Every structure is written in C-alpha cells, then in structure tokens.
Structure 1
Amino acid sequence: MRLFIDECLSPKFAIDLAQLGHDAIHPLHVGRRGPLDHTVKETCLAEDRVIVTENVGDFKALLGREPIHPGLFALPQTSRAHGWTLMTAALSFLETRGDPMDAMVNHYLDFDAQGRPALHALSSSDD
C-alpha cells in the first residue's frame, strides 16, 4: 500500500511498513515536516496515499469533501506498540478484501472497542 504516516505517529511505522513491502513515508524522512492538514491532504491525493493518523476529525472533514480519495486510517491515541498491532490487523483485514488500495478508496478505517478494524464510506458523493 501507499501510505502517508502523519507526524503525530512514530516515523518507525514508515520504516517497519517499508520492511513489509509497503510504500510508506513519514514527513521526517521526506523533508515535509510541519505542513497544514489541507496541504497533507492535497499531497496525498496527488500521490495516491492513504493517510494514517490519530488526527482523525480534521482529515475526515477534509477528505469527506472530496468526490474521490485514497482513504484514511484512523488510529486511536495509544502506545506505539499497540498502534503497530492495530496497523498490522488493519492491513490483514484489508487484504481479505482484495487489493487493499482499492478497498480504501473513499473509505476510512477505524477500530471498535475490541480493536477490530472496520471500514466506513467517506466522500462527498455519499451525501
């Protein structure tokens, strides 16, 4: 998957995801520290990257205005170790649905109280 790991998350996520074969970047590694959320959104749209963040509300609002977008992973605020466990569970969940990038188009992924991933529609065409 093509993933953008938001600044609020550990840059190690991008490194670990790359080791699993994903195209994952973190602002620290690509010289993009400090951009505003709308700039992150525009860059991720242009690069076809799923945004992975704890800053869910802002990105849901921004992506929800788009007719088409690559998707949003909504990780809860938690420890890095638990966040990694949730991330790998989400990737496994998406792989059962075919191409994970296709499954994420116009969706956001979050987790229930038991840590199970769930997909939800998110686009301006859902109004």
Structure 2
Amino acid sequence: MKLLLDEMHAPSVAAALLDAGHDVVAVAADPSLRGCSDTSLLQYAMESGRALVTENVGDFSVLVKRHVAAGESHPGIILTNPARFNRASLAYPGNLIAALAAFLADPPVGGDSWTWWLQRA
C-alpha cells in the first residue's frame, strides 16, 4: 500500500517509513504538492494510487462522499486524531510512525474507497 501524508504531518514520518521499505510521500516535502487544495490533493492521491493520511476529517469526509456518490473510487483515507498524534508532544512523530508501520505491516482494510481511523500502535 502506498501512502500520501497530508501537509500537517512531518516529512520525517515519510522518511522513516521509506527507510523501512514503504512507499510514502509527504506533501510537506514536495514543493509541487505543498499548499494544494484538498480537492487537488485527493485527485493526486487517486491518480497515484496512494491512500491519504490526514487529520482533516471535515473536508475530506465531504470530498470522499462526493466522489463515491459520483461512482468514483479512491485508494483510501487514513484519518488521524490530533489528540492521539499531537504534533506538539514529545511522542510525535514516533507514535505516528509506529502506528502507520503497524497498519502497513497488516492492513486492516483493502480494496477501494475505505476510510480508517488510525489508532496508536
């Protein structure tokens, strides 16, 4: 499974997962993706076959519902809770890296157009 980390997540998360052999792109590390609209970011995720990792629940839930209603599939959305993966805490980004590594090692979902709330590893 390939991932796209939304801009709020540190590029070091993608770097650590890449080092572990996973295919992960961080929006914050790619100048062509930084500052993209949510619609453009979801489109990029769909075109590149990457599940999107985001804590932007409100916007992406609406966008995903529109795509599914229009008969379009997406490669998946992994939602993160800012209370669980608090970017201001000392546990971050290690806790997010561990949770995503566990998810990627044994994905609890598959196919298209799924949404998953990520838990701590």
TM class by smaller structure: 0.7 to 0.9
Letter aligned with residue 9 of structure 2: L
Which stretches in structure 2 are left out of the alignment for 5+ residues?
none
Q: Percent identity?
A: 31
2:7 and 2:103 mapped to 1: Cα distance? 24
Q: Is the 8 A contact 1:94 1:103 kept in 2?
A: no
Would you identify which runs of 4 or more consecutive aligned residues in structure 1 move more than 6 Å?
none
**Considering only aligned residues, what root-mean-square deviation do their CA atoms show, in Å?**
2.5
Offset of 1:92 from its aligned partner?
2.8
Offset of 1:28 from its aligned partner?
3.0
Pick from 75, 97, 117: which aligns with 1:110? 117
Establish whether residue 70 from structure 1 lines up as the match of residue 80 from structure 2. Answer: no
Letter aligned with residue 105 of structure 1: D
- TM-score, normalising length: structure 1: 0.72
Please list the CA deviations of residues 35-58 of structure 1 after superposition, one character each: whole Å capped at 9, or x if unmatched. 100000111110011110111121
Q: What residue is the counterpart of 2:24 in the other structure?
A: 24
Q: Is the 8 A contact 2:4 2:51 kept in 1?
A: yes
1:35 and 1:85 mapped to 2: Cα distance? 26
Offset of 1:11 from its aligned partner?
1.2
2:115 and 2:101 mapped to 1: Cα distance? 13
Q: What are the residue-to-residue correspondences of 1:54-65 with 2, within 5 Å? A: 54-65=55-66
- TM-score, normalising length: structure 2: 0.75
Which stretches in structure 1 are left out of the alignment for 5+ residues?
118-127
1:66 and 1:24 mapped to 2: Cα distance? 23
2:19 and 2:42 mapped to 1: Cα distance? 25
Offset of 1:82 from its aligned partner?
4.8
Q: What residue is the counterpart of 1:120 in the other structure?
A: none
Q: Is the 8 A contact 2:6 2:27 kept in 1?
A: yes
Aligned length: 111
